[in-house]
A = this chain, B = another copy of it.
Amino acid sequence: MPYTYNTPDDERSMLQSIGVDSVAELFQFVPEEFRLQRPLDIPSALGELELTQHLSALANRNASAQQKACFLGGGSYDHFVPAVVDALASRGEFYTSYTPYQPEVSQGNLQVMFEYQTLICQLTGMDVSNASLYDGGSAVAEAVLLAMSVTGRNRVVVPASMHPEYRQILETYFACLGAELVTVAAPSGSVSLADIAAAVNAETACVVVQHPNFFGCLEDVQGIAKIAHAAGALLIQSFDPLSLGLLKRPADMDADVAVAEGQCLGTPMLFGGPYLGIMACKEQFVRRMPGRIAGQTVDRRGRRCWVLTMQTREQHIRREKATSNICTNQGLFALRAAIYLSEMGPQGLREVADLCVRKTAYAKQQLTSQPRFVSAFDRPTFKEFVVRDTQGRVAEMLEQAADAGYLAGVPLARWYPEMADCFLVAVTEKRTRQEIDGLVSALSAASKSSAPRPHTSLAQAAWA
């Protein structure tokens, strides 16, 4: 019991103060029939040294992105995390505190929440932000619920180019709510305005568009927003925070609600979580927003300070009438995002975005200039792109690439059966030219076919 204090003496005197003879007596209200009469069947205790050795052994059975060059994307990315983020977020006063119920002794967390909200507004151009949600996927679901609540409508239009797992979450939520999810195909890598227009009707609560989308391609958000708004529906954009170093902001494209996966803002990949769900919206929807919100006020001495506010939206007060059941936020990751954005600043953010775009373009060009591979879509891409393996051996090839030191791509078969010969390649600012060239070699070398296609000579000189 490494974390407890009570010595036998302590225990004796405490039991005496309580007026019982044994600790067992304290459990008198637990009926005998419900008592577990045997020890739990779990392994026996490990000291710190053994625990560390055991977990290190488990960790060593995984191949981390520090060992293999990671070109995986699809919502989780191997971006660079500046050391300040780890150094500051690992302060005990941040990570061992809880929701700031007592503002007088929680101004650190509250100010961070307020700064985070402001940073997200600056990033997106939106009017207001909450203090975070679980992740990008549930943020989409919460945004859709908001739209349904605002419009009183039950039909939601989503392109197939949105993250398939985000769409699955919507399906799961909708199964209980009797809402209708309309998926619009995106055969060219992005959805067409015509297809969206055909899908949107007077029953549509919202259109959700991811830009850049799951395939890395850009979407015509403004065009889609016009269609949605014309039908009285909301436009929800799922965005990539780092893309906003270069791309127009959701507000500039008239999004009503902007949501995102915030992992790229200073959080490691962590095998998928915990991450950071970002949600910002137009002023008029603020009282429908789920999640905590920090607001500015003054204390009794008139000093500026911060508190949790608009709590009447929340379940601990409103119970079943709350905007959502969410009561935790991802405070620690909102903090990481706030530190990350402060460290990067506008120029740093632009530089990261620029590196992503250029390295991605280079990788796409190099890879698709190999006879074996073709680009699946002819669209501009941000930091990932879809490649078709003309030999159709994606799974095998990716395993071989992993052996060769490359986490080379995400196979699309699980979500898009029609794209079983395709994989998604992401290139962040961390990937070097050497790694990209190595990736191209490793993929080309993997389970090579005997009949090479003629080389499609693109202007390789441009990359010299």
Binding site for B on A (CB under 8 A): 48-49, 52-53, 56, 66, 80, 82-83, 87, 90-92, 429-430, 432
Taking A48-B80, A49-B430, A52-B83 as known contacts, 9 extra A-B pairs with beta carbons closer than 8 A to each other, sorted by chain A number, are A48-B82, A49-B429, A52-B80, A53-B430, A53-B432, A56-B66, A87-B90, A90-B90, A91-B91
The residue on B at minimum CB distance from A93 is: B91
Bound-complex Cα distance A53 to B429 (A): 12
Bound-complex Cα distance A91 to B429 (A): 30
Closest chain-B Cβ to A345's Cβ sits at a distance in Å of: 11
Bound-complex Cα distance A430 to B49 (A): 7
Q: Is the CB of B91 within 8 A of A49?
A: no
Q: In the assembly, how many copies of this chain are there?
A: 2
Chain B residues with Cβ below 8 Å from A52 are 80, 83
The residue on B at minimum CB distance from A351 is: B47
Chain B residues with Cβ below 8 Å from A87 are 90, 92
Chain B residues with Cβ below 8 Å from A432 are 53
Chain B residues with Cβ below 8 Å from A66 are 56
Bound-complex Cα distance A302 to B384 (A): 66
Chain B residues with Cβ below 8 Å from A83 are 48, 52
Bound-complex Cα distance A48 to B83 (A): 8
Chain B residues with Cβ below 8 Å from A82 are 48
Chain B residues with Cβ below 8 Å from A92 are 87
Closest chain-B Cβ to A87's Cβ sits at a distance in Å of: 8
Chain B residues with Cβ below 8 Å from A49 are 80, 429-430
A sample of 15 cross-chain residue pairs with beta-carbon separation below 8 angstroms, ordered by A number, consists of A48-B80, A48-B82, A48-B83, A49-B80, A49-B429, A49-B430, A52-B80, A52-B83, A53-B430, A53-B432, A56-B66, A87-B90, A87-B92, A90-B90, A91-B91
Bound-complex Cα distance A49 to B92 (A): 26
Closest chain-B Cβ to A328's Cβ sits at a distance in Å of: 24
Closest chain-B Cβ to A130's Cβ sits at a distance in Å of: 30
Residue among A48, A87, A92, A430 having the largest count of chain B Cβ atoms under 10 Å: A48
Bound-complex Cα distance A430 to B80 (A): 33
The residue on B at minimum CB distance from A47 is: B351
Chain B residues with Cβ below 8 Å from A56 are 66
The residue on B at minimum CB distance from A67 is: B60
Closest chain-B Cβ to A36's Cβ sits at a distance in Å of: 30
